[in-house]
Structure 1
């Protein structure tokens, strides 16, 4: 099978899963249960194994992986976010570990069809001066892990959870992987969220959790100046994957509202209503603009992640700036589109798109990000653009 044939086969599988998810999306959103069934659907379709870094044994290139995420998110953005975070965290070995360890980990992940999630912070010192929330203490040849950390997806159903923690002895920030069912791990779920209710969000509570040496992925530098260029792509890659979730939310909201309007279930009748046509024109244009901006950032990220392309110190800053712009444009468009479709149609469940967009974008306000992008543009400051994701 050629690369192009594999690409089309994967996208067909994703669309089949998306159709399946769309059929009961409203009921599952209302129930807000842990994504046990959703994980099974992704695994059975081969998407968990497919959305891993590309290699001789399988995996998917960055652009195709993002296209799959977008298709799934259009049907159910909670599952889209879960798959987005899975895809990015399967790259953890490449971001933080050496080549040999990363290859072995990816092969095992593909073979076992693991579902990944995580909560690794951006490259930045603790500006507030607060004590670290996760601490590693040495014990024999490994560590024990203590603390509490919120996780946005799959906190009860993931097979691997990547987190960073401070070593109490050296002060190094180490990235480790743990399993939700490990001894000393408990989970405080968040079933009553405003949106993204099926993503499986919650908090990990870690009480003397043993971390064997093979579960140590590597060191996370304190800031971008001491990080390898490839490592600095970890946080922008995650934010960009979530932009594709945002695109999926827009697509899902517009498609559902359009179908309702065509069937005459909207507040205004379809046909020649100039106000209705104007509104759909404005919303479709906003979605297309966001899509173009995200695709440009996606192409740049794909080049940066390509192991065959040398990565210099300048490129991550450029990629990060493009991702910051994409995140800003996507968040604004998603919130506008999902709010305005409620004016066009009145149907049960249509509000879930706005709720999901609101939760997806709430943690990353645009003001600081825009200032950082502006400083990078005006003064060519790499430190400033990296600060956009702190």
Structure 2
């Protein structure tokens, strides 16, 4: 495999849209190769190990490595636009890299020793996966997976699910808790360690090739330098993580539009209840394609605008405080999260309005766009985002980034926590 550190992309002297054009020209041949087998892979459940290798060889997985560590980092806007193009080729391949790129964003916030250890590995093409969520039995804000120190070494033990990308990874970033340590930690462990078992048992009806299954960690040794405290406030990580999903959704919308256009262009059969013309010449069909295109354009525009807000949040010229940067990024992505899923799901459904019953053939696999979009959209309910945005606009309540999924408290515990005897004292000084 070619090391990504030896690849020179033809965009170093270009700026703005010219730089993106050069980036896209470099990667589009790879995206085209990935797209060529996407339907066959999904129908045969063939995991895209080879396709991930193509992206590593092309330098795609190192696009955000900082310059001081040998990279030539692209902006958030350019990264997410490229991800839209990759997701249009194969939404599974784009999605499975989510945790890899998120780890790079996390690493950039760590001390120099941590950055100097991990960024050269990303530059060399190593991939990072995710193991954060558990299926049940962990209270909201906690994790059942543990880190413990025993005989002078750290050991990781637990079981995770929804471990998107880990089956393709060299390293797995595992969320855990440590007795006596507040909050949660990340432990970075080798995916091929003998104490690690990763299973492709994801049974969702969409995104079947993302490796979103079970990972078991049975007393995995962890080097002390591979443990970091998780930060949940005043960082852009939650916004970046969620916008990644929206870019995947926008790419699915683009794929649905592509397939709708090709169907109309190639169709020779028609209905007596229509104009009697070829579908490509029927004004009503043309209108349907135009409406579908508008939804896809809007979804991509929203994702791109939110990505620009992520760039603005870290622009030193704006001199934003950490709290101001967090608010700018989080509010942008939460609003995008309310808008994009509906646009793409409508587009994936509208695909079937431009053709006949032949479109539902299993061999065509056109239903995969809606199934994949619906699966991605379920990751973070948009209703919670709409409420958060409204609360900020009406009451000035600062949004909270998504950083925890777990079991809700029992009704009895919830009632106890809000009873007069257990309520937290007021911090406003007012007497109720």
Band the TM-score falls in, shorter-chain normalisation: 0.7 to 0.9
Aligned residues: 374
Where does residue 128 of structure 2 map in the other structure?
A: 116
- The equivalent of 1:283 in structure 2 is 292
Give CA-to-partner distance per residue, 1:271-317, whole Å, 9 cap, x none: 44232122222222222222222222110101224467644112312
Are the aligned partners of 2:156 and 2:217 in contact in 1 as well (CA < 8 Å)?
yes
Aligned to 1:21: 34
How far apart, CA to CA, are the structure 2 residues paired with 1:294 and 1:278? 25
Assess if the C-alpha contact under 8 Å between 1:156 and 1:200 holds in 2.
yes
Hey, what does 2:247 align to over in structure 1? 244
8 Å Cα contact 1:35-1:200 kept in structure 2: no
Does residue 390 of structure 2 align to residue 378 of structure 1? no
Q: Does 1:182 align with 2:196?
A: no
2:236–2:330 contact (8 Å) kept in structure 1: yes
The equivalent of 2:155 in structure 1 is: 144
Name the larger-Rg structure. Answer: 2
SS of equivalent to 1:175: strand
Post-superposition shift, 1:318?
2.6
* Residues 160-239 of structure 1: pairs in structure 2 closer than 5 A: 160-190=171-201, 192-216=203-227, 218-221=228-231, 223-224=232-233, 229=234, 232-239=235-242
Partner Cα separation in structure 2 for residue 366 and residue 94 of structure 1: 29
Which stretch shows the higher mean deviation, 83-92 or 253-262?
83-92
Give the superposition deviation at 1:389.
6.3
> Pairwise mapping of residues 315-334 of structure 1 onto structure 2 (< 5 A)?
315-334=325-344
Change (3 A) 1:234 1:129: closer
What is residue 45 of structure 1 aligned with on the other side?
58
CA distance in 1, matches of 2:402, 2:159: 25
TM-score by length of 2: 0.79
Q: TM-score, normalised by structure 1?
A: 0.87
Counterpart residue number, 2:368: 352
Unaligned runs of 5+ in 1: none
- Per-residue deviation at 1:141? 4.5
The answer to whether the Cα contact below 8 Å between 2:256 and 2:351 also exists between their aligned partners in 1 is yes
Give the deviation of 1:153 after TM superposition. Answer: 2.4
Please report the RMSD computed on the Cα atoms of aligned residues, expressed in angstroms: 2.5
Following the alignment from structure 1 to structure 2, what is the Cα–Cα distance between the partners of residues 113 and 127? 34
- The 8 Å contact of residues 136 and 145 in structure 1, kept in 2 or not, is answered as yes
**Does the 8 Å CA contact 2:142/2:184 hold for their aligned counterparts?**
no
Structure 1 CA distance for aligned equivalents of residues 85 and 146 of structure 2: 38
Choose 251-260 or 82-91, whichever is displaced more. Answer: 82-91
Equivalent residues in 2 for 1:65-76, closer than 5 Å = 65-76=79-90
Selected match of 1:156 from 147, 157, 167: 167
Answering whether residue 316 of structure 2 is matched by residue 303 of structure 1, we say no
Counterpart in 2 of 1:366?
382
Q: Are the counterparts in 2 of residues 233 and 316 from structure 1 also a CA contact under 8 Å?
A: yes
Q: Which residue of 2 aligns with 1:36?
A: 49
